[in-house]
């Protein structure tokens, strides 16, 4: 492939990367806007859903209160004490048998005006009997108001309703006929609701029904008194120091829509056509504590009712919950885009490596072809001269035979390297293992490189430290690795005239490793090539420029052989001064030494 073709291919690759980055950035910007819009819509949806659920919760709460008061609504104005008591007992029993919240009613009482006095009878919740009793503590405001009603004194409605800790009282008037046959209040049924039951049963039950996810509540819920927000009536997380009321996502009033326990219903209005013109209102009716003249607010805004129920999502707020989702979506989107760019980058890198490997393989084929052509040409020429009997002198015949033998060995060496490389790639580096003495291994490797060393005119200095342990491996493979390093030192370090070979235990005695060093004083290896010299088919620029014969497989084979034995090989080079290859091989384990020392165990 030509230089211009390579440049064009590289330019197109970079153009593709730039276009992809721009497209990903544009897609990321569009996705950011879309996710923001979706987040706002999701916040509005959650807010609307929460308000609707709170409104239904409020309606169900008020429905439970209405159901409790409806038990004792209707005509209970009979003057016969026995009939009244029987009717109360019957209605109480019906309530207990039909209601799932029978514990909501804490106390029931009957109030009948007699001779200017209010006769208070308490309903025994066990026997159903009406028993005369004193007015309970905390009911004094209700007694004063009923007294004022009986005496015809106008009762001024106080703003804000009763005290937060006042009993939860529902007064149900019963009507008789008065002067001019007009309806008048002839008695009252007072129902006291159980505040503890509401906090432990009714409110948690409604919260799970309308806001729960199975048996889990995703909100911190707080119920406070409207006229005293510091008075907490119910808290879903008592240990949570955060006030849901102060940071509420939404709130709703309880006892709203005409409820306000503890207030007396105004009597039937006259006027507009004369007294008694308006029929009596049956059933309970209550003031809601908004204060005189204040119009009702919109539903589900928490602006009505004696209590306020406020909810705050456990994430901090609905906005925080949506923001978390938005951040997660942006992170996922960004991650996908980054993965896309990384995948493209990796693909380009792999493509460039594949392209480079292809070039190296082509160079390898050319190099091997060149390496094979020379000895084959020599062999063919020598064989032709001998077969044509152009050479008759016995000495010349002998020299030609030696030349053919030499070139055949070169061919064999090249083929052996190629086959060994093929086996190494297939993982077939080690065929058999045994304890090996490093000194003997080095002697055999030096002897195998004797001709190259002689041609390079290098002096070889070989030292093996006393006590160097045996190594455990394939003698043939390890010899080939060391032979490659020594021959390379002779080939590339000829200008230095020196080859250093040493072996000994590793510096760290705990590592149980043996180090073998092969050094030369040749031109060295440039820093830019040091990371590539162990790659298959790679040949340095100096080797190519000086036309030094080679296949580019030697150092790759060295690395594969050493690593197959559990060792490492590194290179240190100072151009023009010293180049040193350090091979580290594990020492033979004691059990392997014992095994090979005992012929019985080996058999």
The total number of structural domains in the chain stands at 2
In a domain, 340, yes or no: no
Q: What is the average per-residue pLDDT within 582-598?
A: 81
Pairing of strands 498-505, 459-464: parallel
pLDDT bracket for residue 581 (50, 70, 90): very high
In a domain, 409, yes or no: no
- Position 500 scores a pLDDT of 92
In a domain, 559, yes or no: yes
Same domain, 310 and 433: no
Same domain, 311 and 434: no
In a domain, 103, yes or no: yes
Q: Which long-range contacts (CB under 8 A, 24 or more apart) does 554-559 make?
A: 554/417, 554/484, 554/487, 554/488, 555/484, 555/488, 556/421, 556/424, 557/417, 557/420, 557/421, 557/424, 557/480, 557/481, 557/484, 558/481, 558/484, 558/485, 558/534, 558/583, 559/534
Helix (H) / strand (E) element for 552: namely none
- Model confidence over 305-363: pLDDT tens digits? 789 999 999 888 888 888 888 888 888 888 888 888 888 888 878 877 777 777 666 66
- Position 9 scores a pLDDT of 67
Q: Which of 53, 24, 45, 51 is nearest to 325 (CA)?
A: 45
Q: What is the average per-residue pLDDT within 420-449?
A: 80
Q: Which residue has the higher pLDDT, 560 or 197?
A: 197
Same domain, 306 and 446: no
In a domain, 475, yes or no: yes
- Position 539 scores a pLDDT of 65
- Position 442 scores a pLDDT of 92
- Position 311 scores a pLDDT of 92
- Position 192 scores a pLDDT of 92
Q: Which long-range contacts (CB under 8 A, 24 or more apart) does 137-144 make?
A: 138/166, 138/167, 139/167, 139/169, 139/190, 141/166, 141/262, 142/169, 142/171, 142/190, 142/262, 142/264, 143/118
Q: How far out from the chain centre does Cα 430 lie?
A: 45
Q: In the predicted model, what is the mean pLDDT of the chain?
A: 78
Same domain, 311 and 437: no
pLDDT bracket for residue 383 (50, 70, 90): confident
Task: Give the residue numbers spanning the domain of 474.
Answer: 429-602
pLDDT above 90: residue 502? yes
Residue % of the chain over a pLDDT of 90: 17
User: Which range, of 5-14, 205-214, 224-233, averages the lowest pLDDT?
Assistant: 5-14
In a domain, 422, yes or no: no
- Position 154 scores a pLDDT of 67
In a domain, 106, yes or no: yes
Same domain, 307 and 438: no
Q: How far out from the chain centre does Cα 358 lie?
A: 41
Q: Which residue has the higher pLDDT, 45 or 175?
A: 45
- Position 320 scores a pLDDT of 87
User: Which range, of 6-10, 81-85, 110-114, 239-243, averages the lowest pLDDT?
Assistant: 6-10
- Model confidence over 255-267: pLDDT tens digits? 865 554 444 333 3
Could you identify the residue written with the tokens 């012929």? 599
Residue % of the chain over a pLDDT of 70: 78
- 191-to-71, 92, 187, 246, 572 alpha-carbon distances in Å: 10, 11, 13, 33, 97
pLDDT bracket for residue 205 (50, 70, 90): very high
- Model confidence over 157-170: pLDDT tens digits? 554 456 777 888 88
Angle in degrees, CA 244, 246, 249, rounded to 5: 60
Q: What is the average per-residue pLDDT within 532-542?
A: 69
Task: Report the CATH number that the domain containing residue 580 is assigned in CATH.
Answer: 3.30.565.10
- Position 171 scores a pLDDT of 87
- 325-to-40, 62, 317, 429, 538 alpha-carbon distances in Å: 11, 35, 12, 55, 52
Q: Which residue has the higher pLDDT, 365 or 230?
A: 230
- 193-to-107, 167, 255, 556 alpha-carbon distances in Å: 7, 8, 12, 90
In a domain, 182, yes or no: yes
Answer whether 0.85 is exceeded by the pTM: no
């Amino acid at each position: 492939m030509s230089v211009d073709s390579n440049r064009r291919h590289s330019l197109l690759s970079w153009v593709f990367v730039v276009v992809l980055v721009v497209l990903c950035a544009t897609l990321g910007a569009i996705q950011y806007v879309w996710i923001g819009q979706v987040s706002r819509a999701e916040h509005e949806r959650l807010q609307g859903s929460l308000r609707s659920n709170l409104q239904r919760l409020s309606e169900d709460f008020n429905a439970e209160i209405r159901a409790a008061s409806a038990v004792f609504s209707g005509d209970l104005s009979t003057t016969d004490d026995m009939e009244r008591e029987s009717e109360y007992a019957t209605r109480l029993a019906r309530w207990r048998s039909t209601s799932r919240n029978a514990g909501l009613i804490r106390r029931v009482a009957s109030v009948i005006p007699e001779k200017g006095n209010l006769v208070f009878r308490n309903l025994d919740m066990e026997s159903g009997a009406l028993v005369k009793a004193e007015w309970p503590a905390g009911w004094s405001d209700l007694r004063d108001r009923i007294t004022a009603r009986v005496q015809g004194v106008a009762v001024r409605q106080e703003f804000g309703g009763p005290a937060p800790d006042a009993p939860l009282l529902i007064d149900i008037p019963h009507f008789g006929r008065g002067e001019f046959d007009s309806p008048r209040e002839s008695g009252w049924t007072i129902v006291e609701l159980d505040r503890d039951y509401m906090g432990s049963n009714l409110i948690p039950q409604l919260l799970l029904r309308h806001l729960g996810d199975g048996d889990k509540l995703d909100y911190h819920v707080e119920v406070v008194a409207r006229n005293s927000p510091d008075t907490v009536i119910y808290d879903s997380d008592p240990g949570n120091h955060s006030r849901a009321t102060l940071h509420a996502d939404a709130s709703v009033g309880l006892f709203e829509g005409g409820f306000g326990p503890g207030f007396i219903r105004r009597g039937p209005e006259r006027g507009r056509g004369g007294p008694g013109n308006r029929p009596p209102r049956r059933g309970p009716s209550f003031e809601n504590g908004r204060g005189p003249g204040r119009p009702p607010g919109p539903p589900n805004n928490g602006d009505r009712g004696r209590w306020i129920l406020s909810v705050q999502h456990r994430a901090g707020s609905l906005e925080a919950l949506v923001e978390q989702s938005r951040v997660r979506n942006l992170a996922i989107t960004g991650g996908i885009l980054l993965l896309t760019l990384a995948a493209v980058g990796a693909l380009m890198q792999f493509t460039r490596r594949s392209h480079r490997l292809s070039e190296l393989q082509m160079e390898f084929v050319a190099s091997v072809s060149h390496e094979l052509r020379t000895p084959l040409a020599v062999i063919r020429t020598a064989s032709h001269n001998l077969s044509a009997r152009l050479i008759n002198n016995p000495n010349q015949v002998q020299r030609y035979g030696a030349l053919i033998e030499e070139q055949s060995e070169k061919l064999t060496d090249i083929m052996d390297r190629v086959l060994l490389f093929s086996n190494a790639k297939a993982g077939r580096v080690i065929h058999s293992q045994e304890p090996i003495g490093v000194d003997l291994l080095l002697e055999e490797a030096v002897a195998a490189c004797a001709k190259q060393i002689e041609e390079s005119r290098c002096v070889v200095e070989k030292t093996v430290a006393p006590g160097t342990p045996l190594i455990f491996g394939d003698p043939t493979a390890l010899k080939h690795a060391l032979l490659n390093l020594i021959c390379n030192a002779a080939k590339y370090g000829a200008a230095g005239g020196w080859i250093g070979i040493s072996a000994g235990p590793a510096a760290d005695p705990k590592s149980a490793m043996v180090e073998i060093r092969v050094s030369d004083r040749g031109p060295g290896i440039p820093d830019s090539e040091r990371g590539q010299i162990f790659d298959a088919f790679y040949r340095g620029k100096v080797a190519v420029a000086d036309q030094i014969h080679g296949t580019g497989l030697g150092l790759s084979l060295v690395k594969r052989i050493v690593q197959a034995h559990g060792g490492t090989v590194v290179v240190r080079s100072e151009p023009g001064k010293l180049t040193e290859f350090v091979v580290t091989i594990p020492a033979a384990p004691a059990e392997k030494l014992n095994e090979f020392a005992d012929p019985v165990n080996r058999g």
